[in-house]
Amino acid sequence: MAIVVENLTKKYGVQKAVNDISFEINTGEVVGFLGPNGAGKSTTMKMITCFMAPTIGDVTVEGASILSEPEEVKRKIGYLPENNPLYLDMPIVDYLRFSAEIQGVEKSEIPARIGEMIEKCGLNAEKHKNIQELSKGYRQRVGLAQAMIHDPEVLILDEPTTGLDPNQIVEIRKLIKELGKEKTVILSSHILSEVEATCDRILIINKGRIVADGTAETLRRQAQGQELLTVHIEASKGDIQKELLGLKTVETVSAIEGKEHWFTVQSRPDASSRKEVFDLCVSKQWYLLEMTGIETRLEDVFRNLTN
78/96 Cα distance (integer angstroms): 13
Among 17, 64, 281, 298, binds ligand ATP (CB under 6 A): 17
Among 39, 61, 144, 149, binds ligand ATP (CB under 6 A): 39
Amino acid of residue 205: I
Is 19 near ligand ATP (CB under 6 A)?
no
155/168 Cα distance (integer angstroms): 20
Number of residues that bind ligand ATP (CB under 6 A): 12
Enumerate residues 6+ apart whose C-beta is below 8 A from 257: none
Is 57 near ligand ATP (CB under 6 A)?
no
Among 5, 30, 34, 41, binds ligand ATP (CB under 6 A): 41
Among 76, 139, 150, 190, binds ligand ATP (CB under 6 A): 190
Is 141 near ligand ATP (CB under 6 A)?
no
Is 104 near ligand ATP (CB under 6 A)?
no
Closer of 82 and 200 to ligand ATP (Cβ): 82
Is 16 near ligand ATP (CB under 6 A)?
no
Is 137 near ligand ATP (CB under 6 A)?
no
Report whether 298 contacts 222 (CB < 8 A).
no
Closest contact distance (angstroms) between CB of 17 and ligand ATP is 3
Binding to ligand ATP (CB under 6 A): which residues in 263-292? none
Enumerate residues 6+ apart whose C-beta is below 8 A from 170: none
Closer of 82 and 94 to ligand ATP (Cβ): 82
Is 38 near ligand ATP (CB under 6 A)?
yes
CA distances from 39 to 15, 17, 156, 160, 273 (A): 12, 7, 17, 17, 38
Is 35 near ligand ATP (CB under 6 A)?
yes
Neighbours of 170 (CB within 10 A): 14
CA angle (135, 139, 143) in 5-degree steps? 170
Closer of 180 and 208 to ligand ATP (Cβ): 208
Is 210 near ligand ATP (CB under 6 A)?
no
Tell me which stretch binds ligand ATP (CB under 6 A): 36-44, 91-99, 107-115, 214-222.
36-44
Neighbours of 101 (CB within 10 A): 12
Closest contact distance (angstroms) between CB of 59 and ligand ATP is 15
| DSSP-assigned letters across all residues of 15-50 | EEEEEEEEEEE-TT-EEEEE--TTSSHHHHHHHHTT
Residues in contact with ligand ATP, shown as a per-residue x/- string from 71 to 90 under the rule CB under 6 A: -----------x--------
Closer of 45 and 145 to ligand ATP (Cβ): 45
Among 2, 5, 42, 157, binds ligand ATP (CB under 6 A): 42
Is 14 near ligand ATP (CB under 6 A)?
no
31/299 Cα distance (integer angstroms): 18
SS3 content of the chain, % helix, strand, coil (to 5): 40, 30, 35
Is 12 near ligand ATP (CB under 6 A)?
yes
Closer of 58 and 82 to ligand ATP (Cβ): 82
Q: DSSP strand E in 207-258: where?
A: 209-214, 228-234, 250-255
Pairing of strands 56-61, 3-12: antiparallel
Question: 232 forms bridges with which residues in the sheet?
Answer: 262, 290
**Which residues form the interface with ligand ATP (CB under 6 A)?**
12, 17, 35, 37-43, 82, 190
